[in-house]
Structure 1
Amino acid sequence: MRRLTTLLIAGCLPLPAPAQDAASEATRTAQAELAGRLPLDDPRDEANATRGKLAEIPGGVITGKDGAVIWDRRPYAFLEAREAPDTVNPSLWRQARLNAVHGLFEVVPGKIWQLRGYDISVMTVIHGRTGWIVVDPLLSEEAAAASWKLFADTIEAKEGRRPIKAIIFSHSHSDHFGGVGGIVTPEQVARQNIRIIAPHGFSEEATSENVLAGAAMGRRALYMFGAILPPGPRGQVDTGLGPKLSSGTIGYMEPTETVGAEGGTLTIDGLAFDFLDAGGTEAPSEFVFYIPAYKTLHTTEVVTHNLHNILTLRGAQVRDALRWSKLIDAMLLKWGGVAEVTLASHHWPTWGADEVRALLANQRDAYRYVHDRTLFLANRGATLHELADATVEAPVQASDFSTRGYYGTLNHDMKAVYQRYFGWWDGNPANFNPLPPEQSAPKYVALAGGADKLLAAGRAAIASGDYRWAAELLNKLVFAEPGNRAARDALASAYDQLGYQAESGAWRNYYLAAAASLRGNAVEAATRNGQSRSFVSAIPTAVFFDALATRFDAAKGAALNGTFQFILPDSRESVAVVVGGGVEFPRHGVTDPAPTATITINRKTLDDVMLGQAQFPALMQSGAIRIEGDRMAFLSWFALHPPADPRFNIVVP
């Protein structure tokens, strides 16, 4: 288990953190090789990314009501240079410059607009018969509000004010619904009968995805999105999928209606929308849709201008690459001959029927290649790491930038497909139950002849440009001797070069954030995202208690037995928590006839606890919680739920 210490080890790191490395000769050579074989000067994406621009937020600066900066593109002025520095993969540089274009864009004249570059995601506004239809109102309420103001100041200033008639949540990831409170209030939705339309299963998936594993996902996300890196040619440049995550308030509103698994047509403010279910591809709850009147296909996050993740670096359930490819083919068959423009929840649109068909076909082939090559090699004995390392990029990736690994990668996606079918084990019994890193690392150091020899071998690998091997060697030394400054610096140097060479924004961020952590100069996380009360209140009570059970300290609570009955008067729910044998099992909707203790508490009060606005001991003293039965047993049980420390170490023990 990782020791929950700060990244700076007290007493072990007395020297100032060393400076970040420059690009090595091996890195410069790798960058030049890639630049030489890709058509980086192809102007079509830049033309599409800038097409129809009408206005922008000055400086790309968005602040909250308290004056806190939510979004600021000024530190990214370095991206104005056309030529990539040698510390950034030239293909990723191209993608970052395209994602950096921000403003309000007209997609279909007088009918469809997009707000791009003010979050990792994109907000789309559609002209209905009597008002506006908004698709995916970004991650944070502050970013959404500023983007909507830009739209209103620019478009409504000419056309007159029109009401929002409907909001479409394309799928269950929070960067596509979290900002909804920035453009409408719950009172408006109720008073004006605003339709909120989402795919089936949305409510449960949207509010529970990160609850059970939220601490670990959140910690890894800081690395994946580069939130602990400063912007710059040697720091955070882009995520590949979009510039970065906005920081602000993540909200939630319950859909007023959902589209079933069968898809079908809905008329929304006078416009026909043809929906196709996409659940189980990029998100467990998702759809795509076509607007016949505007000959426009919205591919949500199923088709974007990069190869997506089959398994994200932050962690998630493995996605289905085979279904993903088949869903894209279904879009191609259904709309490939009629759609004249396609747009998505990330990146820029594509115009022209032929270009739309090519985009869909190439994306389909990329995901099918990932899936089929994995199983082709696995069925011939290749293991997880072998098959990914042995596979060259798909032929389509050499000519179509939309299929390149700016976010997901061919390497990581193939490993994810392998995991989906075979799990984490490669079938070799030596790897079935290996020693954990903190136990095996000292043995490797001893086998190498001591720390000095292993350090010398790692430095030699760095000097030869073999950074992957250097990282493997030096990681052993760091885990054996986490206070070894020279080992940490050398490993950070290997991570620098791996990050510089990475075409994936997520890979780059993770490598460079790891290097910054090792040096002790990771910046304070730039994101200040907080879940709003609307979001927390929407988390199902059953999920809340399941998450609470994951905090149960089984080692200390092995001897505890009992049933703790929770009664939630305001939500009219009951949960019986059965404890015994080191296991805590919540039974939602069950009332135990003879509980050890009965705890009466409003669900709203539980929300206060989840938001950090109240603590159980104080609530008990105030009478906000009523306990009947064995009060001491309840207190003993409650004490066995320590919160997880979200600052746990990743790159050191």
Structure 2
Amino acid sequence: MKMTTLAALTAALVLAGCSRGADKAPPPSGNASAATVQANAAFAATLPLAEPQGFEDAKRGLIARPTGKILAADGSVITDFDAFGFVTGDAPPTVNPSLWRQAKLNAQAGLFKVVDGVYQLRGFDIGNMTLIEGRTGWIVVDALTCRETAAAALAFARQHLGQKRVTALLFSHSHIDHFGGALGVLSPEQVKGGVPVIASAGFIEEATSENVLVGTAMGRRSGYQFGKNLERSAGGLVDTGLGKGVGYGSFGILAPTDLITQPSEERTLDGVRFVFHNVPGAEAPAEMSFSVPSLKLYGGAENLAQTMHNLLPVRGAKVRDALRWAGYLQAALDELGDAEVYVGQHNWPVWGHERIVEFITRHRDVYKYTHDQTVRLINAGLTPAEIADQIRLPKSLQAYFGTRGYYGDLRHNVKAVYQFYLGAYDGNPAHLDPLPPVEMARRYVALAGGADKAQAAAQTAFDQGDYRWAAELLNHVVFADAGNQAARELLARTYDQLGYVAEASTWRNSYLTAAAELRGGPPKRGIDRAGLIDVLAQTPIERFLEAMAAGLNGPAAEGKDFKINLVLTDTRESYVLWIENAVLHHKRAAPAADANATLTLTQGFFVRMMAGTAGAKDMLTSDEIKVSGSRIDLIRFLGLIDKAPGTFPIVTR
């Protein structure tokens, strides 16, 4: 019974992409075709790639560069400061030249002085840690992704700036790459001792609940978006658009002690006056930007970065509101005052009031143009694919490097706007009830005259540089027969070329990861939950129970009427779980007298189960858990909850 309990409950929660010991992908071909070389050369001719301002800004204020590696407790490498040393010089033929420029800019890792009293640590993780000097110590803006990178960054700053204490911690928004390293910055005891933790309303709810319900799928797909398992090379991972790579270590969180709930609120932290601006529901469900008038500083959180952002990430998420996003950026212009420096929580700063105004204006207009023109073409009857192929930004926005699609992509964002208003269905009744992908693939391949003919047509398209059509044909061939190794290799080579010409890092990483999995198969291991234990401890029990309900195997549960009590002894919480009409419900209530069984345990043990750190021996011997009632019924109940390992195939079936 207790092994079943562990298996079932650990399936209830994951956060996207949190595995450290991941499978290494087979290397890409590393060979750019003649068509790819020509396409990248033509692309380079359209942009002033040697424009020096970005390089000056990315290097400005450098105090020191880190060397070596940041390691996890088990010795695995979280950050290798030398891994991207190959990102120098002119773009190789296997990388879009515009993305190569962004990769070189993001490769500027180190401690930087922004202005007097303001410093940034960049390149330790995908995001930035910003330090603002207070009267007695550092006010830290964002804590990176994991404890290890945050602690290393702060130690590096103290090495060069002095042993100052942290006097406040600000979370700009509710994504884990900005709060996951909190315990590397402050301890819970320091917070209890009075060090303030500031965030916007809804932060802890959003930070702990994001990805709970569909975290397994998001985690699997995030490996594509960030190229997590790709080798660091000119034929593999070169950048993520927002930074070099994500720090996959030990994740934690600290509950805010002070919430920003109004559109604008002021706080004085360690003698420094901040004006916070609440901007929820655009880039993140809970987010805030800020101004420091005395320093003429504006902090844009992640509504602003040195790249177009995602309205719908490749990994998946709830669709973001482009119109609200543009509105917040107009508000930022109105709130800017006499600011002379912008800092973001990704990429590098912008100096000079006029340049900051231009930066915000261009971002505002990218999202507004994308929104308005997509809606115009929706009303003209065009489908998402048609709109994505038709919309082009005006030249004034295309030519601005700060809003090019290194992380987000215009074509993907267009589809997000369409989905935001009309959903994924394009209105064509033929698409109301299409065949499943494998069955459709088999029929298309048969219609083409068999796999050999379809593959021959794909080879012709590949040879002509028509990679989109080659991918379409080969996708059907591989779905129809996943064992067709020749088709898999040709599709992998096709994805290589699509990756080599992609300006968006998220597209490049997705194509190259797909190619690697065609050659080597999906990952052997799913997400490692052990590093999440400090985040799970802050997660409301209801989120776990909602995820359990979403894991219930409906067909298997039909006709079942189990009722289970869940009692948490240390928090004195009690829940009743029951199945009705093949749906798992829960409510906070006293144990039901007619329950089939009662599972009694501590919240701490429950969290360790979620993290996978409580093993079978612990469950057999621990005095933190006991079962009363029918153990057989509890086994049957838990056996109805599917365990999703997160290793499902994506490019084959």
Give the shorter-chain TM-score range. over 0.9
Deviation at 1:137, TM superposition (A): 1.1
CA contact (8 A) 2:558 2:581 kept: yes
Residue 112 (structure 2) pairs with residue 105 (structure 1):
yes
Residue 110 (structure 2) pairs with residue 85 (structure 1):
no
CA distance in 1, matches of 2:74, 2:219: 24
136-145 or 518-527, larger mean C-alpha shift:
518-527
Supply the AA of the counterpart residue of 1:211.
Answer: V
Deviation at 1:268, TM superposition (A): 1.1
Deviation at 1:582, TM superposition (A): 1.6
CA distance in 2, matches of 1:426, 1:40: 38
Residue 74 (structure 2) pairs with residue 73 (structure 1):
no
Per-residue displacement from partner, 1:596-636 (whole Å, max 9, x unpaired)? 32222221111110111225796366553333333322221
Tell me what 2:46 maps to. Answer: 37
Supply the AA of the counterpart residue of 1:538.
Answer: Q
Aligned to 1:650, the other structure's residue is in SS state coil
**Match runs of 1:296-315 below 5 Å:** 296-315=297-316
Tell me what 1:180 maps to. Answer: 182
Deviation at 1:189, TM superposition (A): 2.1
Aligned to 2:555, the other structure's residue is in SS state coil
Aligned to 2:462, the other structure's residue is in SS state helix
CA distance in 2, matches of 1:93, 1:62: 25
CA distance in 2, matches of 1:529, 1:565: 25
Tell me what 1:594 maps to. Answer: 594
CA contact (8 A) 1:248 1:528 kept: no
- Higher relative contact order structure (alpha carbons within 8 Å, sequence separation ≥ 6): 2
CA distance in 2, matches of 1:539, 1:616: 23
Aligned to 1:120, the other structure's residue is in SS state coil
CA distance in 2, matches of 1:482, 1:55: 50
Distance 1:345 1:182, change over 3 A: same
Tell me what 2:230 maps to. Answer: 229
**Match runs of 1:509-524 below 5 Å:** 509-520=509-520
CA contact (8 A) 1:246 1:527 kept: no
Deviation at 1:587, TM superposition (A): 1.8
Supply the AA of the counterpart residue of 1:628.
Answer: S
Aligned to 2:93, the other structure's residue is in SS state coil
What is the number of residues matched between the two proteins? 629
595-604 or 321-330, larger mean C-alpha shift:
595-604
Distance 1:176 1:253, change over 3 A: same
Supply the AA of the counterpart residue of 1:150.
Answer: F
Distance 1:527 1:396, change over 3 A: farther
CA contact (8 A) 2:307 2:404 kept: yes
Which residue of the other structure, out of 146, 151, 157, is the alignment partner of 1:145? 151
CA distance in 1, matches of 2:26, 2:226: 22
Deviation at 1:75, TM superposition (A): 2.6
Identity score, percent = 43
Tell me what 2:457 maps to. Answer: 457
Tell me what 1:12 maps to. Answer: none
What is the TM-score with the length of structure 2 in the denominator?
Answer: 0.93
Deviation at 1:354, TM superposition (A): 0.5
Deviation at 1:166, TM superposition (A): 0.3
CA distance in 1, matches of 2:42, 2:581: 59
Supply the AA of the counterpart residue of 2:487.
Answer: A
CA distance in 2, matches of 1:197, 1:19: 44
CA distance in 2, matches of 1:480, 1:528: 32
CA distance in 1, matches of 2:139, 2:543: 32
**Match runs of 1:176-575 below 5 Å:** 176-191=178-193, 193-335=194-336, 337-520=337-520, 530-575=530-575
Supply the AA of the counterpart residue of 2:579.
Answer: V
Supply the AA of the counterpart residue of 1:91.
Answer: S
CA contact (8 A) 1:196 1:255 kept: yes
Distance 1:609 1:516, change over 3 A: same
Tell me what 2:636 maps to. Answer: 636
Deviation at 1:163, TM superposition (A): 2.1
Supply the AA of the counterpart residue of 2:575.
Answer: V
Tell me what 1:4 maps to. Answer: none
CA distance in 1, matches of 2:633, 2:523: 43
CA distance in 1, matches of 2:590, 2:258: 29
CA distance in 2, matches of 1:107, 1:301: 18
CA distance in 1, matches of 2:234, 2:241: 15
Per-residue displacement from partner, 1:194-222 (whole Å, max 9, x unpaired)? 10001100001001101111111111111
Which residue of the other structure, out of 56, 71, 78, is the alignment partner of 1:63? 71
Distance 1:593 1:322, change over 3 A: farther
CA distance in 1, matches of 2:81, 2:632: 54
Deviation at 1:277, TM superposition (A): 1.0
Flag structure 2 segments of 5+ consecutive residues without an equivalent. 1-24
Deviation at 1:480, TM superposition (A): 0.4
Aligned to 1:74, the other structure's residue is in SS state coil
Per-residue displacement from partner, 1:32-83 (whole Å, max 9, x unpaired)? 1211111111100110000000012124x222344332100323111022x1
Deviation at 1:280, TM superposition (A): 0.4
CA contact (8 A) 1:248 1:530 kept: no
Distance 1:286 1:153, change over 3 A: same
What is the TM-score with the length of structure 1 in the denominator?
Answer: 0.93
CA contact (8 A) 2:251 2:533 kept: no
Aligned to 1:266, the other structure's residue is in SS state strand
Tell me what 2:7 maps to. Answer: none
CA contact (8 A) 1:222 1:525 kept: no
Aligned to 1:438, the other structure's residue is in SS state helix
CA contact (8 A) 2:66 2:81 kept: no
Supply the AA of the counterpart residue of 1:542.
Answer: E
Supply the AA of the counterpart residue of 1:87.
Answer: T
Supply the AA of the counterpart residue of 1:34.
Answer: F
Distance 1:626 1:100, change over 3 A: same
CA distance in 2, matches of 1:493, 1:99: 28
CA distance in 2, matches of 1:589, 1:343: 48
Aligned to 1:265, the other structure's residue is in SS state strand
Cα RMSD (Å): 2.0
Distance 1:590 1:492, change over 3 A: farther
Supply the AA of the counterpart residue of 1:32.
Answer: A
CA distance in 1, matches of 2:26, 2:326: 46
CA contact (8 A) 1:537 1:607 kept: yes
Deviation at 1:562, TM superposition (A): 2.6
Deviation at 1:311, TM superposition (A): 0.5
CA distance in 2, matches of 1:368, 1:543: 35
Residue 127 (structure 2) pairs with residue 121 (structure 1):
yes
CA contact (8 A) 1:600 1:625 kept: yes
CA contact (8 A) 1:171 1:286 kept: yes
CA distance in 2, matches of 1:146, 1:46: 25
Deviation at 1:561, TM superposition (A): 0.3
Per-residue displacement from partner, 1:397-438 (whole Å, max 9, x unpaired)? 322111100001000001001001000100000011101111
391-400 or 238-247, larger mean C-alpha shift:
391-400
CA contact (8 A) 1:281 1:320 kept: yes
CA distance in 2, matches of 1:394, 1:264: 36
Distance 1:17 1:325, change over 3 A: closer
CA contact (8 A) 2:564 2:598 kept: yes
